[in-house]
Structure 1
Amino acid sequence: MTSTKTLLLAAALAGPGVVVATQAQAQVSGIAVADPEAAVAASRAWQAARGQIQTTYKVQLDQADARRRAVSAELQPLVTAYQNAARQPGASEASLRPQAQALQTRENAANQELARLTEQPQRAQAYALEQISRRLNDAVQAAVRARNVTLLLRPAAALFSQPTADITPAITTELDRLVPTVGITPPPGWQPGQQGAAPAAAGARPAVPAATTPGRRPQGR
């Protein structure tokens, strides 16, 4: 489990991928690489919003962090008991299922509890990210035009690329120009994704992580 005070992007932003190229080659061949999520994460608007969220919702985040640690301590004996049972001769999926289900039920309840505690900071994060993500495509297009790039792909798609091929910092610069600041208080009735592409509430990397089972997750044999 990661700290609830580390508000991270788990944003599902639509964006281009990557190919091998140096900066000089990109100017000639029109090929470059970029990580749009990293560009958003590095933007001044997001950095400021993250700090505001941590300050504004400090009480809720502290409560969630304390509860997360307590849940981890509560779940650890159950995990250990499950792992010990799984090592016993003759252990099977059927014999381990009751323990696995009990552990999963307890973990799900803890996640729901943490979700309630962190609902406000989660919404604040989603609102801030949505405001930035609305202008992400504009920022990408501006950076691409300035460098005569005709093909822009994500880094994960490349076997190799030189750091000089990366125009992610240029996209961040454009975002800073287009979205100098954002608010963290959603208007009444606002829901994530209403206007433009909104980041998924944390997807791979939640702003305020839910409780997770210590050690390996129970699985039947």
Structure 2
Amino acid sequence: MTTKTKIVALAAGLALTAVAAQPAFAQKKGATAATGTIVQGLGVASFDAVIANSNAFKTAEQQRQTTFKAQFDQARTRQDALNAQIKPLIDKFNADRQSGKASQTALEQQAASIQQIQENGKVELQRILQPVGMSQAYVNEQIEEKLDGAVKAAMTKKGVSILLSPDAILAVNGGAYNLNQDILNELNTALPSAQLVPPAGWEPRQIREQRAQAAAAQGQAAPAAPASNPAPQPSGR
């Protein structure tokens, strides 16, 4: 795992976690399960795996390393400084605990101080990497908006009427079409690439929905939010 990835994993409070699963992609029509039979009309697909392997997602992941290099570098520098600050405190805490000379109260105070520094550092890293998290959320939302159409198109072309998640299957006496690759092909056609940087004022869907619910509860109209796929603009910087 790279340093950049570790930093993002630590400070991904706003990020819709980038899916890391790499699927075993589509069975050919002639491929079979244990019984050598494919159940007509039944399909299996992992949406997370399809998204992670889409051209739009993978391209955005690559572009993000360049577009947000300043944020990544700043976060890495701050993470190193935090580690340097915390290490001697942890070493002292361990030494005092092993020596048996420090009181329980003193040890608890040391532990609380270390934990506070860690929590403050996490908040600071989240703030530094907030643009990265917003970019991840923005790209994922664009992909998700095209995914439903891609799923329906793939199901229609393959004659699949029921689509299941691999996680929902306990046992199968027979086989089913693996639609991952078919859905991926449709998704790549519908969305070859995604906009990397959200427009000014954009908020993730979850936050927009929360605002709308709060406004509805108060009998007010929800404020308009920028669309997730505005007029085309150059990707990257």
CA distances 1:84-127 after superposition (whole Å, capped 9, x unpaired): 777899xxx98865444323311111111111211222222221
CA change 1:148–1:184 in 2 (3 A) is: same
Amino acid at match of 1:3: T
Query: What does residue range 27-38 of structure 1 map to in structure 2 within 5 Å?
Result: 28-38=39-49
Bigger relative contact order, structure 1 or 2 (CA pairs below 8 A, ≥6 apart): 1
CA distances 1:185-209 after superposition (whole Å, capped 9, x unpaired): 2122111117999xxxxxxxxxxxx
Amino acid at match of 1:127: Y
Query: What does residue range 170-185 of structure 1 map to in structure 2 within 5 Å?
Result: 170-185=182-197
CA change 1:102–1:195 in 2 (3 A) is: closer
Residue 132 of structure 1: how far off its partner (Å)? 0.9
- RMSD, aligned α-carbons: 3.9
Report the TM-score, using the length of structure 1 for normalisation: 0.65
Is the CA contact 1:134–1:196 (under 8 Å) kept in the aligned structure 2? no
Classify the secondary structure of the residue corresponding to 1:32.
strand
Classify the secondary structure of the residue corresponding to 1:121.
helix
CA change 1:82–1:194 in 2 (3 A) is: same
- The farther-off stretch of 122-131 and 2-11 is 2-11
* C-alpha distance in 1 between matches for 2:38 and 2:129: 46
Q: Aligned match of 1:111 in 92, 117, 122?
A: 122
Amino acid at match of 2:187: L
Report the TM-score, using the length of structure 2 for normalisation: 0.61
- The farther-off stretch of 66-75 and 56-65 is 66-75
Is the CA contact 2:38–2:177 (under 8 Å) kept in the aligned structure 1? no
* C-alpha distance in 2 between matches for 1:96 and 1:151: 59
* C-alpha distance in 2 between matches for 1:29 and 1:190: 43
| 1:41 is the counterpart of 2:74 | no
Higher Rg: 2
CA change 1:150–1:118 in 2 (3 A) is: same
CA change 1:24–1:68 in 2 (3 A) is: same
Query: What does residue range 133-148 of structure 1 map to in structure 2 within 5 Å?
Result: 133-148=144-159
* C-alpha distance in 2 between matches for 1:115 and 1:196: 20
Classify the secondary structure of the residue corresponding to 1:137.
helix
Q: Aligned match of 2:181 in 169, 172, 185?
A: 169
Is the CA contact 2:151–2:183 (under 8 Å) kept in the aligned structure 1? yes
| 1:152 is the counterpart of 2:163 | yes
CA change 1:27–1:178 in 2 (3 A) is: farther
Residue 145 of structure 1: how far off its partner (Å)? 2.2
Classify the secondary structure of the residue corresponding to 1:135.
helix
Q: Aligned match of 1:124 in 120, 135, 149?
A: 135
CA distances 1:9-46 after superposition (whole Å, capped 9, x unpaired): 6159xxxxxxxxx9557853433322211111111111
Amino acid at match of 2:55: R
Query: Percent identity, aligned pairs only?
Result: 33
CA distances 1:41-77 after superposition (whole Å, capped 9, x unpaired): 1111111222221111112112212322332343345
Residue 144 of structure 1: how far off its partner (Å)? 2.1
Classify the secondary structure of the residue corresponding to 2:43.
strand
* C-alpha distance in 1 between matches for 2:69 and 2:90: 31
Gaps of 5+ in 2: 10-15, 20-29, 210-237
Gaps of 5+ in 1: 13-21, 198-221
* C-alpha distance in 2 between matches for 1:81 and 1:182: 49
Residue 182 of structure 1: how far off its partner (Å)? 1.3
